Structure 1
Amino acid sequence: MNLETIIDGLSRDQQIIAMEMLWKRLSQGPDNAAPPTWHRDIVAERVAGLQDGTESLSDWADAKKRLAVRLQ
């Protein structure tokens, strides 16, 4: 049984708990761990968008509200 099948068999609440456990373990790793290339690419795109005016910053409270609406 592969990991994806196991995750698919979990309830939504169990998936969130698993994600939190995984994040806790990953965040306790070495500080010198480089972010993946895809993540650096996304950050670079967003910074470029801020610099050229095609992107804007959001207040965290507003961003959470928009996410909550999307997830309903």
Structure 2
Amino acid sequence: MGITLPLEKMTTEDKIRAMETIWDDLCKKDENIVSPSWHKDILEEREKAIESGKEEFIDWSEAKRQIEDKIS
């Protein structure tokens, strides 16, 4: 099934909303999603960055707010 979106006409905010809608739907069926093998490596790198103090966690709602601020 091919889906065509008018990406060139969509704002960044529209594109992010579309991605969030797709992601929310995928999360409802997460047992069907297999993580790629490289995903584990990335997660381990990020965990080490957190442990070493190079990075820190922020709340998802805060992360979304920061993204929205950058694109508006």
Identity %: 27
Structure 1 gap ranges (5+): none
Paired AA for residue 48 in structure 1: K
Alpha-carbon distance between aligned partners in 1 of 2:30 and 2:60, rounded to the nearest angstrom: 28
Where relative contact order (Cα < 8 A, 6+ residues apart) is larger, the structure is: 2
Larger radius of gyration: 1
Cα deviation, 1:15-45, whole Å, max 9, x if unaligned, reads: 854x43x542x44547274311232222111
Cα-Cα RMSD: 3.2
1:6-21 → structure 2 map (5 Å cutoff) = 6-7=4-5, 8=7, 11=10, 13=14, 16-17=17-18, 19=19, 20=21
Structure 2 gap ranges (5+): none
Report the counterpart of residue 47 of structure 1 in structure 2.
47
**TM-score using structure 1 length:** 0.54
